[in-house]
Amino acid sequence: MLDHIKNLDELEKEAKQIDEYLSITCSEEPMQALERGNDLLVYLARSGKMVADAKYWQDEAINNSIIQKLKDQLDLSPMILKKFIESNCKRENYLVNWLDRINRTCVHQIDFLRTIVSYAKNQR
């Protein structure tokens, strides 16, 4: 059932590839902007799915941390318990935050490219 959810290593690898593309300066040439816009739409869809996958693993890590905590039967305050759980899920938390940022960057770059194309139309 979970075969459609990418594992953390796969998510990190794809996030790195998308992040590298997003770090390239956008061209102000309208045709190149349209081409980049098409690429970004694909990345937007992919990164949305990747955020969902990363949140799945984040939830799994939190759940495992709670179970482990209950097994250990330590008497900690809720605040300390929350920090303990978060620190045990740092890789998952980082990945969720990174993928969320990638997804938002795609949206912002698409908006910028839309502005370039609109400007080019007005110049004609």
- Chain segment 51-89, per-residue pLDDT in tens: 999 998 988 888 887 766 665 666 667 777 777 777 778
* H or E element that contains 23: none
- CA distances 71 to 64, 66, 80, 88, Å, are 10, 9, 16, 15
The answer to whether the CB of 25 falls within 8 A of the CB of 113 is no
For residue 87, how far is the Cα from the chain centroid?
Answer: 19
- Chain segment 18-57, per-residue pLDDT in tens: 999 999 998 888 889 889 989 999 999 999 999 999 998 9
Instruction: Name the token pair of 5.
Output: 């959810």
What is the pTM for the complete model shown?
0.68
